[in-house]
Amino acid sequence: MSTTNQMEKTKEEVTAKQAEASPKRKKAPIEQPVATKKSKKPSDKPEKEKNQKDVSAKESKRKKSASAEIEMTETLAQTRKQQKKKQKEEKRKNKTPRLRIFPIWLRIIIVAALSVVALFSGLMIGYGGLGDGEPKDALKWETWQHIIDIVVKEE
């Protein structure tokens, strides 16, 4: 497809969108030039038939645009709130229930367990790695009792 054909198609699409966006605008019908001399040739009849077909096509387009204009006025008559409510109701009707792989209660349990694991690993790293003690000693009760005694200073 050549670029000129593409440009023509995009121009046609733009004009079609503009025509749809503004249904109140009516284009003036294009009149064909009328011949000054009328000759009675057999070729005149097909031209008249073509003109009649053009007129009927224009009338059908006018009817369609009139119905589209009526629809637009009806939708404009509704307030914005009514339109939003209608859209929300349609969304709710069309919405499928969400299937969760992990239920919420399982997620809460997993987060709590991971928090406990993080606490104990932090204790072991802090006591054994940063301090001078054995990492397993951080989990013993005697170590914590000693720490509490130092903080409270029972005499």
31-56 confidence digits (pLDDT tens)? 555 555 555 555 555 566 667 667 77
Answer yes or no: is 30 within a domain. Answer: no
Q: What is the chain's pLDDT, residue by residue, as a tens digit (155 residues)?
A: 566 666 677 777 767 666 665 555 455 556 555 555 555 555 555 566 667 667 777 777 777 777 777 777 766 666 777 888 888 888 888 888 778 888 999 999 999 999 999 999 999 999 898 888 898 999 999 999 998 999 998 66
In the chain, how many domains are there?
A: 2
| Domain identity same for 128 and 147 | yes
The whole-model pTM stands at 0.39
**Domain, as residue range, for 54:** 49-93
Please report the DSSP string for 77-146 in residue order: HS-HHHHHHHHHHHHHHHPPPP--SS-HHHHHHHHHHHHHHHHHHHHHIIIIIISSS-GGGGGSHHHHHH
Q: What is the pLDDT of residue 154?
A: 62
In a domain, 140, yes or no: yes
